[in-house]
């Protein structure tokens, strides 16, 4: 994983994770935090709180659990 990496979280939408939990706020890996990275792109079919931060693409639909393009990543 490098500072140019993208974090992808799958199966966190309403079908893959019933109830659609707030899993979208993925932490930056400790290795990258030590290198000074403070934000990175995160893509998921999950949701997250409106008080969260960072470069995120969430609520990807249809979700990966039902075979959308996110499932191929």
Cα(32)–Cα(49) distance, integer angstroms: 23
* Averaged pLDDT score across all residues of the chain: 82
Q: Which CATH architecture has domain 1-73?
A: 3-Layer(bba) Sandwich (3.50)
Instruction: Render each residue's pLDDT in the chain as its tens digit; 73 residues.
Output: 898 999 888 888 888 887 777 876 778 889 999 999 998 888 888 887 765 677 888 788 778 888 877 877 7
In angstroms, the CA 30 to CA 57 distance is 21
Segments making up each domain of the chain, as ranges: 1-73
Q: Tell me: the pLDDT tens digits for 27-46? A: 888 999 999 999 888 888 88
Structure tokens at 57: 């693409």
Q: How far apart are CA 13 and CA 20, in angstroms?
A: 5
pLDDT at 52: 65
* Catalytic residue IDs: 49
So what's the pLDDT on residue 37? Answer: 92
pTM equals: 0.75
């Amino acid at each position: 994983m490098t500072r140019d990496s993208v974090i992808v979280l799958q199966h966190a939408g309403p079908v893959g994770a019933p109830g659609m939990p707030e899993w979208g706020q993925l932490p930056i890996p400790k290795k990258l935090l030590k290198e000074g990275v403070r934000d990175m792109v995160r893509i998921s079919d999950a949701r997250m709180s409106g008080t969260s931060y960072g470069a995120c693409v969430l609520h990807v639909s249809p979700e990966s659990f039902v075979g959308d393009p996110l499932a191929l990543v």
